A and B are shown apart, each in its own frame.
Chain A
Amino acid sequence: MLDATQLLRFLSANTPRRLRVIENVLVGKRSVSTLYWGMRYAQLDWLGYDKRLSRTEVDQAAQSLVNDKLAVMADTKVKLTPEGLTTLNATSLYQPQALSVRLTVDISTFWQRFLLAIQVVSEASFENRQYYPLQVPWAVKQTIKRWFHQYREASLAEQFRTFLEAFLTSLPTTQANFLANLLVGHVQPGKTITQLAQTAEMSLAEATLIQTDLVCQLVQFIQQEQAPVFTTLLAGLVNSPVSQSALQTVQAYNQGQSLSTISQRRHLKDSTVREHLLEAAILEPLNAFDYERTLSPALQTKLADIFDQQSIDEWQFDQVAPLSLEFWQFRLYEILRSKQDDQ
């Protein structure tokens, strides 16, 4: 669902960006190269946002921008023209607030649970037992059955009303209306995303993004509020953004095992162990990874001197040849500095 307008938001007027990185991030490829450049483009929150995206769609969107002189392309690297930048600024695309929640929470299952929970509570409040339940996967249905059984005595309708009012008040009115219109309850079938896009005269891609981001904000709100009725709806859906295998590698690394020990014990190639560490460094917060084990303060000072005044995207591995570093250590330093810059 990537159209030319949506592609604009991933491009820069300063430096050409690789179309394949943008595509691979959206599709959700987890190679270190994709993750690293996704981080550099500040696009990681979008990791796996559009798993069914095709290369043709991406190429067509890029070509369309080039045809309209909004971007220039060389070797599948794309850069916004000044007109492109003006258009991007004038288009007032929706700016997502909480998209990174996607990386740690299965938000599509959460949304199915949340919608069904509201419907069940709404119908129960009207004492209606004969209604068409939302069609959801079997597991979601079972979860909500158990959930309702657990909390049915807890004046759920009142809790939901208070909760929804609190959350929706925290949003700008148009967004609060947008989310509320999606809800399903007693004689309220809700609006489809297509209908909301039509009403607001926006593209389906834009409307879908708004929905995704609002659901992410809803999850954040639940995580902050910590009311059991709602946090239970997140049970089993929260995961580390880092893959399971990489997590095990990082755990061993944090315990002080050497890289060769890790690769022997876990039956992994040396390169895989390094990729796991880089994946975790990229996806975890700065303080969650022991950078100093690989990059001692002294080494960091030397590196800082070499790259003084130079922007990260211009660094070359050749420049650190005198330090006889491995490439992955160089990349780890790039990650560290990127994260420090963001703080």
Chain B
Amino acid sequence: MISDSQFYQALKQTFGFETFRPGQLEALKALGAGKDTLAVLPTGAGKTLIYELYGFLADQLVVVVSPLISLMQDQVATLSVRGEKRAAALTSMMTYNEKQAVLAHLNQYRFLFVSPEMLSQSAVLTAISRVQLGLLVVDEAHCISTWGPDFRPEYLLLGQIRHLLGDPLTLMATATATDHVKADIKAKLQLPDAEEIILPVDRQNIFLDVEKFEVLADKDERLETLVQQLKKPGVIYFSSKQKADEMAGYLNQKTTCHVAAYHADLDLETRFKVQQQFMLGQLDVICATSAFGMGIDKNNVRFVIHYHLPGDLESYWQEIGRAGRDGQPSIAILLYQPGDEQIAQFLSETTVPEPNEIDYYYHQKAPLAAPDNKANLIWFYRNHHVSLERVLAGFEKRREQRFRALQKMLAYVRISSCRREFIRSYFDQTDSEKPTHCCDNDEQLDISALGLEASDNERVQLASTDWQSIVTQLFAH
């Protein structure tokens, strides 16, 4: 049992804060009392602080299961910036020897970040079970429910893995979860009695806006106008890396803003540079793909624009949550062109195998070099002794589920009543008040009335670029 005063003391000592943000202390208290905990806190509420602080106090290894390598690397870097050097990410990008080196010295680490795939490997499991595990964290826990069967099925093994690790104290953390997803997370991790710490998902300072276009050219033109007009910095989400690259180039050319693309295809050096430029205020706008950039922690993002339709409301809400973490007025704009749902549906279902594919791969002998993800997926189930009928039925259900999720997203686009109420009821939260400026169905979008108009002198001035000044500025005299 850890006392409140110990939590406050640690907060001051390690983070320099006097007070917790809503939800943090409640989650810590639950963990401190040895209760497995599901924490649903909005993006930017400081979920990572919970397990960092707990790890600090428990003085034992904290294993964090995280979906993306980029996210793990960001978290390790963030910890390092705070002076915690005993953090490592175990990733598929490391060589065998590098992984062995980390696993052999696990007792010297406080935080270990792993993907579910990495954690399912027996060498990794064995190494972790040899040390005293203080806390198992499933970060972005909604992935268990929204990904799962068709994409990264190892998420489904986490419940079993938890048993193999001796049922350690577990924190499941996510920003968005409906009642159904919450129940699903707990069921898959086999923790039906976990304590729930739930904060309202609503972000009152974000104005919600949807705009519709008949042709693509109008959408591009509107995007250009918005980027020019809106207060920066901002993030624009795309469904494809190529489109993100293309529009970053287009906006650089057409507007006076500094724009860069940010996605999984960037090499490490470029990713670092774009991220740091954005953090240091040298970039106005980032063109990102939805599967990337969860790690950027910048609190003054004023707008999040979606150029493509996300596959479900969870993703949408998660992504617009990057706006206005400082509590200042911000805006989320979704640009919709009829037919966009086909791209979304394609992307949403592309990972779900068709019945004939399932049948084909299920009966094929697994060759050593796997031809594609779908084959791997089906072999995964076969190797876990799931019958063909159940695999077929499972994916059929999954397809319907993805389809319904997309229909919900479309319903959000098409409704004529308050968008915020729609979201609240979707997330089963209907008890909070409406903000003054709510959504475009309640009042016509007026950027200046929202206080979101860019001022003329706002343009970012970049540092000089001649080599003499660069070299001079690199090193302190």
Contact = CB atoms under 8 A, between A and B. Distances in A.
Interface of A: 112, 115, 118, 121-122, 125-127, 129-139, 157-158, 160-161, 164-165, 168, 173, 176-177, 179-181, 183-195, 198-199
B82 A134 contact: no
A122 B272 contact: no
B23 to A, nearest CB: 26
Contacts, number: 108
A161 B468 CA distance: 10
A135 B83 CA distance: 17
B276 A132 contact: yes
Given A164-B471, A192-B260, A134 B272 contact: yes
B470 A181 contact: yes
A212 to B, nearest CB: 13
16 contacts: A112-B269, A122-B475, A132-B272, A133-B77, A135-B77, A136-B268, A157-B475, A157-B476, A160-B474, A160-B475, A180-B465, A183-B470, A186-B474, A189-B272, A194-B261, A198-B249
B73 A177 contact: no
A125 B476 CA distance: 5
Contacts of A131: 81
A142 to B, nearest CB: 9
The DSSP consensus for interface residues of chain A is helix
Contacts of A185: 473-475
B369 interface: no
B78 to A, nearest CB: 8
Given A130-B82, A132-B80, A198-B252, 6 more contacts: A132-B78, A168-B467, A177-B466, A180-B467, A180-B470, A194-B270
B17 to A, nearest CB: 16
A132 B98 contact: no
A181 B465 contact: yes
Contacts of B465: 177, 180-181, 191, 199
A125 B466 CA distance: 21
Nearest to A163: B471
Interface in B211-267: 249, 252, 260-261
A188 B470 contact: yes
Give 5 closest A-B pairs by Cβ, nearest first: A189-B276, A180-B467, A157-B475, A185-B474, A125-B476
Contacts of A161: 471-472, 474-475
Nearest to B252: A198
Q: Which of B83, B271, B276 has the most CB of A within 10 A?
A: B276
Contacts of A179: 467
A186 B465 CA distance: 15
B76 to A, nearest CB: 9
A130 B80 CA distance: 7
Contacts of A181: 465, 467, 470
A131 B276 CA distance: 10
